[in-house]
């Protein structure tokens, strides 16, 4: 059965969605985009299981585009190998190296599909028409030109796409950053107007927190794009952040499901009016940030602006910020940022010290951030207070706080993060479905 694959003769965007450019929705088709993560294609048995899943979708009448990740720990192993050769390998060569992991998987799955008697073709990111910017190792997709995919689907082939990679506007191979195959899948689903994008992984959906830390964590049947964005941005590693941004922007029906069972998984989608909302949907934690404190900054107009513009120019992303005004017209400012950026931060602050006249700064890697996310928080007071109280009862000191309408984050000591996640999960009764405000505060 052939799907209504949109056709075009010309390149560059044409009637397709231009990711990152003007937004146009592709016509909806019955194409299904399936993505299989590293554990799902780890060995020959897994690869055969994946091939069967893909063929089942094909038998059900769907043209299938399957995006695959590198097998098991291949990407980590390639990074380690590069480090053995060079302390600071050229980013272009890293991309040439890392993109091979996904190509291996794509070719192997194509072979397994042939064994099942179906026609399949594997494509690299470049062959699949994924055009990115030139930022090696964290490239952004600029455009998708899926003519080759469309042609193969019309020829009744199952299409395998090597995830996590594209070709830059300079014609170099690029990769999209860790977890990037999620973004490949969602972006292709947007460009092809797919009926659904299904992310097959080693858990059977999105949970109220990382099930590896809290075994009582509960699987969610549905989560809104906004909540999923907050969960992902605040540390839940299950999906790449950019993939959720693309899904929201292009309204892609996105499912997260188990590669090993037939359970339906979690739908990530648009929140409908009148839909019942959980007060708190999940707890996340993030360990990769450090806290930087600048002491005795002169308390005058423009000082904070100077510090943070200079950091931004050095490409440092800053997360939580607090300022304490101390006596004598001087203030301390603390902020968190990716600990990998500490060398850049140190260089920026050393450079500003004379000009701004602050006394010193210190760096602290022993921090972590715990976050509560929930769309229902908008309308229920007392959630922050309950969170602070729970942390206090567990002897956890809060060093910084930041909030948005649907999340509250606290920066705490790294050594206490597991206690914090477990305590918050229990206090907000996240193992139970649709807990009322009365139950939380009873």
Contact 232, 244 (CB under 8 A): yes
How far apart are CB 211 and ligand ADP at their closest, in Å? 6
Asked if residue 236 binds ligand ADP (CB under 6 A), the reply is yes
Residues 232-261 that bind Mg ion (CB under 5 A): none
Contact 68, 38 (CB under 8 A): no
**Binding residue (CB under 6 A) for ligand ADP from 202, 262, 355, 432:** 202
163 binds, among Mg ion, ligand ASP, ligand ADP, none (CB under 5 to 8 A by kind): ligand ASP
Of 437, 440, 438, 434, the C-alpha closest to 208 is: 434
Of 21, 65, 406, 62, the C-alpha closest to 250 is: 21
Please report where in the chains the tokens 């075994």 appear, as a residue: 215
Asked if residue 203 binds ligand ADP (CB under 6 A), the reply is yes
**Judged by CB, which is closer to ligand ASP: 63, or 101?**
101
Of 248, 126, 275, 115, the C-alpha closest to 187 is: 248
Q: Which two tokens mark 170? A: 């300079």
Q: Which two tokens mark 131? A: 């055009």
Choose the binding region for ligand ADP from 101-109, 235-243, 317-325, 327-335 (rule: CB under 6 A). 235-243
Half-sphere exposure of 99 (CA within 13 A, CB side): 26
Asked if residue 179 binds Mg ion (CB under 5 A), the reply is yes
Helix (H) or strand (E) holding 165, with range, is: strand 165-168
Distance of CA 80 to the CA centre of its chain: 23
Number of H helices, E strands in the chain: 12, 20
Residues in contact with ligand ASP, shown as a per-residue x/- string from 61 to 80 under the rule CB under 6 A: --------xx----x-----
**Binding residue (CB under 6 A) for ligand ADP from 16, 118, 164, 207:** 207
Residues 152-181 that bind ligand ADP (CB under 6 A): 179
Contact 273, 411 (CB under 8 A): no
99 binds, among ligand ASP, ligand ADP, Mg ion, none (CB under 5 to 8 A by kind): none
Contact 263, 205 (CB under 8 A): yes
Number of residues lying near ligand ADP (CB under 6 A): 19
**Binding residue (CB under 6 A) for ligand ADP from 24, 237, 300, 306:** 237
Asked if residue 376 binds ligand ADP (CB under 6 A), the reply is no
Residues 90-149 that bind ligand ASP (CB under 6 A): 101
Please report where in the chains the tokens 């998708």 appear, as a residue: 144
Asked if residue 243 binds ligand ASP (CB under 6 A), the reply is no
How far apart are CB 206 and ligand ADP at their closest, in Å? 5
101 binds, among ligand ADP, Mg ion, ligand ASP, none (CB under 5 to 8 A by kind): ligand ASP
Taking each helix axis as running N to C, give the angle between helix 44-59 and helix 91-115, from 0 to 180 degrees, rounded to the nearest 10. Answer: 60
Residues 274-313 that bind ligand ADP (CB under 6 A): 282
Contact 335, 382 (CB under 8 A): no
How far apart are CB 235 and ligand ADP at their closest, in Å? 8
Choose the binding region for Mg ion from 34-42, 108-116, 121-129, 268-276 (rule: CB under 5 A). 34-42
Choose the binding region for ligand ASP from 16-24, 179-187, 209-217, 434-442 (rule: CB under 6 A). 179-187
Q: Give, rounded to a whole angstrom, the gap between the first and last alpha carbons of the chain.
A: 56
Asked if residue 166 binds ligand ASP (CB under 6 A), the reply is no
Number of residues lying near ligand ASP (CB under 6 A): 13
Asked if residue 6 binds ligand ASP (CB under 6 A), the reply is no
Of 340, 347, 354, the C-alpha closest to 314 is: 347
Q: Show Cβ contacts of residue 43 under 8 Å, excluding neighbours closer than 6 positions.
A: 71, 72
Between the alpha carbon of residue 232 and those of residues 28, 207, 215, 240, the distances in Å are: 27, 12, 20, 7
Asked if residue 142 binds ligand ADP (CB under 6 A), the reply is no
**Judged by CB, which is closer to Mg ion: 179, or 269?**
179
Between the alpha carbon of residue 282 and those of residues 207, 258, 415, the distances in Å are: 7, 19, 21
Asked if residue 120 binds ligand ADP (CB under 6 A), the reply is no
How far apart are CB 63 and Mg ion at their closest, in Å? 25
Q: Which residues bind Mg ion (CB under 5 A)?
A: 37, 179
Contacts with ligand ADP by CB under 6 A lie at: 37-40, 69, 179, 201-203, 206-207, 209-212, 236-238, 282
Binding site for ligand ASP (CB under 6 A): 37-38, 69-70, 75, 101, 163-164, 178-182
């Amino acid at each position: 059965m052939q799907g209504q694959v949109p056709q075009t003769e010309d390149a560059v965007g044409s009637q397709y969605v231009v990711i990152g450019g003007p937004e146009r929705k592709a016509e909806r088709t019955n194409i299904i985009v399936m993505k299989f993560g590293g554990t799902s294609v780890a060995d020959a048995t897994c690869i055969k299981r994946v091939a069967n899943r893909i063929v089942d979708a094909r038998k059900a009448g769907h043209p299938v585009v399957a995006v695959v990740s590198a097998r098991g720990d291949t990407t980590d192993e390639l990074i380690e190998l590069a480090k053995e050769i060079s302390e600071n390998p050229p980013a272009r060569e890293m991309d040439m190296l890392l993109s091979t992991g996904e190509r291996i998987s794509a070719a192997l799955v194509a072979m397994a599909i042939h064994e099942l008697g179906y026609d399949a073709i594997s494509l690299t990111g470049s062959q699949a028409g994924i055009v990115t910017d030139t930022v090696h190792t964290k490239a952004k997709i600029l455009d998708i030109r899926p003519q080759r995919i469309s042609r193969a689907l019309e020829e009744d082939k199952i299409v395998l796409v090597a995830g996590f990679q594209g070709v830059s506007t300079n014609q170099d191979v690029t990769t999209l950053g860790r977890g990037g195959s999620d973004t490949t899948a969602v972006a292709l689903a947007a460009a092809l107007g797919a009926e659904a994008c299904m992310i097959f992984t080693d858990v059977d959906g999105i949970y109220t927190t990382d099930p590896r830390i809290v075994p009582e964590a509960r699987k969610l049947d549905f989560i809104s794009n906004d909540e999923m964005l907050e969960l992902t941005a605040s540390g839940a590693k299950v999906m790449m952040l950019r993939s959720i941004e693309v899904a929201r922007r292009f309204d892609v029906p996105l499912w997260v499901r188990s590669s090993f069972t037939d359970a339906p998984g979690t739908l990530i989608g648009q929140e409908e009016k009148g839909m019942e909302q959980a007060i708190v949907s999940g707890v996340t934690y993030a360990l990769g940030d450090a806290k930087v404190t600048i002491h005795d900054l002169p308390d005058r107009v423009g000082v904070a602006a100077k510090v943070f513009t200079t950091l931004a120019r050095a490409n440092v992303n800053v997360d939580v910020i607090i300022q304490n005004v101390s006596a004598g017209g001087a203030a301390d400012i603390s902020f968190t940022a990716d600990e990998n950026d500490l060398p850049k931060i140190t260089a920026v602050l050393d450079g500003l010290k004379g000009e701004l006249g602050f006394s010193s700064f210190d760096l602290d890697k022993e921090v972590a951030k715990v976050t509560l996310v929930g769309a229902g928080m908008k309308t229920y007071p007392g959630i922050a207070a309950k969170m602070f109280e729970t942390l206090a009862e567990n002897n956890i000191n809060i060093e910084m706080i930041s909030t948005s309408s649907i999340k509250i984050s606290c920066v705490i000591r790294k050594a206490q993060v597991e206690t914090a996640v477990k305590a918050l999960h229990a206090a907000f009764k996240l193992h139970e479905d649709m807990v009322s405000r009365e139950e939380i505060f009873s």
